[in-house]
A and B are shown apart, each in its own frame.
Chain A
């Protein structure tokens, strides 16, 4: 059974600092997603990573995928308060069923 783990679970960081969120998964998969959820809101898709070595960047966020290590990272550069949210990675358990297994989520708080 596919397991997806994120760390840290909670991250409090100062504006302007850099940090990385890690997402490990237990079995082979060819698709990994990152989502953002603001408190009391829905989930918003950030990145879709489809191959080993894939790297995608949007603003201060950059996501990468290492399928051999079964690891994805979400790097935050020069954090700002607006990035405060919960970030989820999700891994496709099977290409044919589109069954996404979500990680535990990382709650990020950025303070001045």
Chain B
């Protein structure tokens, strides 16, 4: 059983298109995240949700809209894709409230915008 699963693994699309990446976790965690990893492997947080409530919203273009239908799911929708959006997007989850919580990452979605 995959703890944090995201689909698709690869996404190749044209500029201007709209696309979505889905993420689900079966760990019972209450917080989920989206991270972006650029071509230099630099990881940056984009969003986090706690029990379907938006907690962290970094300076991300409005074209990116996260949606959390329930605490086990956090999807990422991207409108009007641009070349600079090409990156690997990682979903992650954690159980907040404790001192020893760590992030569990999904396998990543490699987005290529042509």
Contacts and interface: CB of A to CB of B under 8 A. Distances in A.
Category for how many chain A residues contact B: 20 to 34
Interface residues of B, number: 22
A41 B107 contact: yes
Given A42-B105, A45-B103, A50-B100, A99 B45 contact: yes
A42 B100 contact: no
Interface stretch (A66-74, A75-83, A100-108): A100-108
A41 B106 CA distance: 9
A80 to B, nearest CB: 22
Interface string A87-104: 010100000011111101
A37 B100 CA distance: 20
A100 B45 contact: yes
Contact of A98 (B31, B100, B105): B31
Interface of A, secondary structure class, is strand
A91 to B, nearest CB: 12
B106 A42 contact: yes
A94 B104 CA distance: 18
Contact of B44 (A31, A41, A43, A102): A102
A33 interface: yes
A104 B55 contact: no
Interface string B60-81: 0000000000000000000000
Interface centre among B41, B55, B104 (most CB of A within 10 A): B41
A48 B96 contact: no
Interface in B18-50: 31, 41-45, 48
A86 interface: yes
